[in-house]
Amino acid sequence: MAATLKLMMEAANAAVPRISLAQARQMIAEGNALLVDVRDAPEVEKTGKVAGAVHVSRGMLEFRADPDSPYYDKNFAKDKPIIVYCASGGRSALGGKVLKDMGYDRVYNLGAFKDWVEAGGAVEKPIESGM
């Protein structure tokens, strides 16, 4: 059977646990979690990102997470938890599944950026153009 979005989402949601805002805050406070914003650049430029998060668009995730890639981001380490989020939780689930497939064991889906903001989570605002 051909893969469909529905099947891919079911597999991703089964593989990548969804965590609460409180759980994410605790992991962040412990100081060893990597937060990854997988939204596209225009989204991040418009709204900002979770304070301390690394922005890696969903399309570049595999390139940034693979140590053998020339685009590897040294923030990715297989010995620390990774918390992924996007606008609604879909791209973060799919991205988290890819990270799991790549050998990252502790990957968690925070879900929607707007939920973080509405709960009073710290946000890094985008830099105003022209400044």
User: Out of 3.40.50.300, 2.40.50.140, 3.40.250.10, 3.40.1110.10, which CATH number does the structure's domain 15-123 have?
Assistant: 3.40.250.10
β-strands 82-86, 123-124: how paired?
unpaired
The catalytic residue positions are 86
Across residues 64-93, what is the average pLDDT?
96
Token representation of residue 108: 């968690």
Tell me the C-alpha distance between 120 and 40, whole Å.
Answer: 22
- Domain segments of the chain: what residues? 15-123
Q: What is the pLDDT of residue 131?
A: 39
Mean pLDDT across the stretch 40-58? 95
Residue 127 has pLDDT above 80, yes or no: no
Q: Give the integer Cα–Cα distance in Å for 39 and 48.
A: 11
Tokens of 5: 């979005």
Q: What is the CA 68 to chain-centroid distance, rounded?
A: 20
